[in-house]
């Protein structure tokens, strides 16, 4: 007795031979398959029952596959759609993804890729699965997987707490982002996340992955700006033993590591033009050729990219390929800056302080005082949420107080009245948002507080060292602890960066940045 069929599919194509080919291929995979020759016949099938997915040709006698997609969307139906387009018709493919298609295939259809895309849409592994990374002939059976490249972000595995739950706030701008995440997670359409540095682009990418049917598969995050140009191809596509000096074994690249899951390309605007050309081919062909290999390796990867740059302007300036921009920018999710959603600031501060207390082993969660909140509401936050985390972390570490006020944050001259423009005490919104924030100080204390004049440092050398130390820490955090990239952003060579880090006691470990004692290398040498 055969196992019951779990998935039902509708194949729509006006060519009987192709319909039969698709049907037989899917029947071997254990699917329940029905077919239709045009839009009207397909819609009649849809009126009679629901399907797990629909596979439709773009050109049909009485319309197009897009017409069918639009009717499905208008009816609020949940079937995922895969569109088959003519070879090389990039415009049709992008149009199909924008219309809500889960994915697309180009003619002539590769049956291995056909099975892989259908199974991906249904969240299952095909019976005739694609190779996980390289073909059987290319990967020796006794060769273990190489360790993930160093340019991978920390924590590439699926987190226990979903990224969507870590997006704190209830502002309209953030609710709009959440709505877009829920919509785009249903398809394979490439997503471009745009936002200023520190707005949480990687968090949004992880949320898309967590909500999608690929959430059990790898999420690989790559900082494109942190990889030296000469290593890009090897890091992205992998290499074969002997491909170049130092290639002592086969190694997988980012695309193979993300097979079946999602690949997040952070700061995509920093890729050089030569690499943009190769990336475009991979997206179009769904296959990579490792350095030193002859054959291409099929990959099943969803691309999510991010940038703080205006890529349209980069295209106009000939620094970014227009065809790659066209492929990546199918769906764009713009992220609001922190200054544009200040109503989320109290809940953000509370969540960050809770995390700091947990990581630091504190007995109680520090609380943000009224003057501290007002100081933060007045701050422009050019570094957005990342800057807020740094400010609060520094305040908790250096102040040692349970109650964090403006002077603990480094804002002793904060104005006490600007909070009313954002949250009004007594209206209910302030009290609801400011859980964990201390009550306002008595009016007399606010009235008698006078702004203090700036003070001169008692030790200029120590003061300047602290400023330089803070800058080094910010640069390392921005470039994911990559000393070469952080130094380059400050016009420092790697050697100069190492010298300054050693002198100021800044160390990079597996746990992150550790601050130790400063020392003077020149004095020690004497």
Q: Which domains does the chain have, with CATH numbers?
A: 8-122 (3.40.50.2300), 164-336 (3.40.50.300), 340-448 (1.10.8.60), 460-525 (1.10.10)
Using CA atoms, how far apart are residues 356 and 365, in angstroms rounded to an integer? 8
Structure tokens of 216? Answer: 């059990």
Specify the pLDDT at position 222: 92
* pLDDT(304) > 80: yes
Using CA atoms, how far apart are residues 166 and 18, in angstroms rounded to an integer? 46
What does the mean pLDDT of the chain come to?
79
Give the percent of the chain with pLDDT over 90: 25
Structure tokens of 177? Answer: 């982002």
321-351 tens-digit pLDDT: 998 998 898 889 999 999 999 888 988 999 9
Nearest of 275, 269, 99 to residue 193 by alpha carbon: 269
380-396 tens-digit pLDDT: 899 999 999 999 989 88
| Range ranked top by mean pLDDT from 72-81, 421-430, 440-449, 479-488 | 72-81
8-29 tens-digit pLDDT: 999 999 988 888 889 888 988 8
pLDDT band at residue 106 using 50, 70 and 90 as cut-offs? confident
Specify the pLDDT at position 452: 52
pLDDT band at residue 435 using 50, 70 and 90 as cut-offs? very low
Using CA atoms, how far apart are residues 469 and 496, in angstroms rounded to an integer? 14
More confident: 513 or 37: 37
Alpha carbons within 13 A on the beta-carbon side of 471: 13
pLDDT band at residue 36 using 50, 70 and 90 as cut-offs? very high
Question: Is 374 exposed, middle or buried (CB count within 10 Å of its CB: 0-12, 13-18, 19+)?
Answer: buried
Query: Lowest-pLDDT range, 124-133, 254-263, 347-356?
Result: 124-133
Structure tokens of 402? Answer: 């349970």
More confident: 445 or 271: 271
Specify the pLDDT at position 136: 30
Specify the pLDDT at position 209: 92
Using CA atoms, how far apart are residues 203 and 167, in angstroms rounded to an integer? 8
């Amino acid at each position: 007795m055969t196992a019951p069929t779990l998935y039902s599919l509708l194949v729509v194509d006006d060519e009987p031979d192709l319909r039969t080919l698709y049907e037989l291929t899917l029947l071997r995979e254990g699917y329940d398959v029905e077919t239709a020759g045009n839009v009207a016949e397909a819609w009649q099938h849809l009126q009679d029952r629901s399907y797990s997915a629909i596979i439709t040709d773009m050109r049909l006698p009485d319309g197009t596959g897009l017409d069918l997609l639009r009717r499905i969307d208008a009816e609020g139906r949940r079937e995922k759609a895969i569109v088959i387009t003519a070879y090389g018709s990039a415009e049709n493919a992008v149009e199909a993804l924008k219309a809500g298609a889960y994915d697309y295939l180009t003619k002539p259809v590769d049956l291995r890729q056909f099975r892989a895309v259908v199974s991906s849409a249904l969240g299952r592994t095909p019976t005739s699965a694609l190779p996980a990374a390289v073909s059987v002939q290319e990967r020796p059976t006794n060769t273990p997987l190489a360790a993930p490249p160093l340019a991978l972000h920390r924590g590439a595995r699926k987190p226990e707490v979903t990224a969507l739950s870590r997006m704190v706030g209830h502002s309209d701008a953030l609710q709009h982002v959440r709505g877009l995440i829920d919509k785009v997670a249903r398809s394979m359409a490439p997503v471009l996340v745009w936002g200023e540095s520190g707005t949480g682009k990687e968090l949004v990418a992880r949320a898309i992955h967590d909500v999608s049917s690929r959430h059990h598969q790898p999420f690989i995050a790559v900082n494109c700006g942190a990889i030296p140009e000469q290593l890009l191809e090897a890091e992205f596509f992998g290499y074969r033993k002997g491909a170049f000096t130092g290639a002592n074994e086969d190694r997988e690249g980012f695309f193979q590591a993300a097979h079946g899951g999602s690949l997040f390309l952070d700061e995509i605007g920093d890729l050089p033009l030569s690499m943009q050309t190769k990336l475009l081919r991979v997206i179009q062909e769904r296959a990579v050729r490792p350095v030193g290999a002859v054959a291409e390796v099929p990959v099943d990867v969803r691309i999510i990219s991010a940038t703080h740059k205006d890529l349209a302007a980069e295209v106009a300036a000939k620094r970014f390929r227009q065809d790659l921009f066209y492929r990546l920018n199918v769906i764009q999710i713009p992220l609001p800056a922190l200054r544009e959603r200040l109503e989320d600031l109290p809940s953000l501060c509370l969540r960050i302080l809770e995390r700091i207390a947990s990581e630091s082993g504190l007995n109680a969660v520090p609380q943000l005082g009224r003057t501290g909140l007002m100081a933060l509401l007045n701050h422009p936050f050019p570094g957005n949420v990342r800057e807020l985390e740094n400010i609060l972390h520094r305040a908790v570490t250096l102040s040692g107080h349970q109650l964090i006020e403006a002077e603990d944050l480094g804002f002793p001259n904060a104005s006490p009245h600007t909070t009313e423009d954002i949250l009004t005490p007594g209206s209910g919104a302030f009290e609801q948002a400011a859980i964990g924030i201390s009550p306002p100080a008595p009016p007399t204390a606010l009235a008698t507080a006078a702004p203090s004049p700036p003070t001169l440092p008692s030790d200029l050398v120590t003061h300047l060292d602290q400023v330089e130390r803070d800058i080094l820490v910010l640069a390392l955090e921005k470039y994911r602890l990559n000393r070469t990239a952080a130094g380059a952003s400050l016009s420092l060579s790697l050697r100069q960066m190492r010298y300054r880090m050693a002198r100021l006691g800044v160390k990079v470990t597996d746990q992150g940045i550790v601050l130790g004692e400063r020392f003077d290398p020149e004095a020690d040498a004497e």
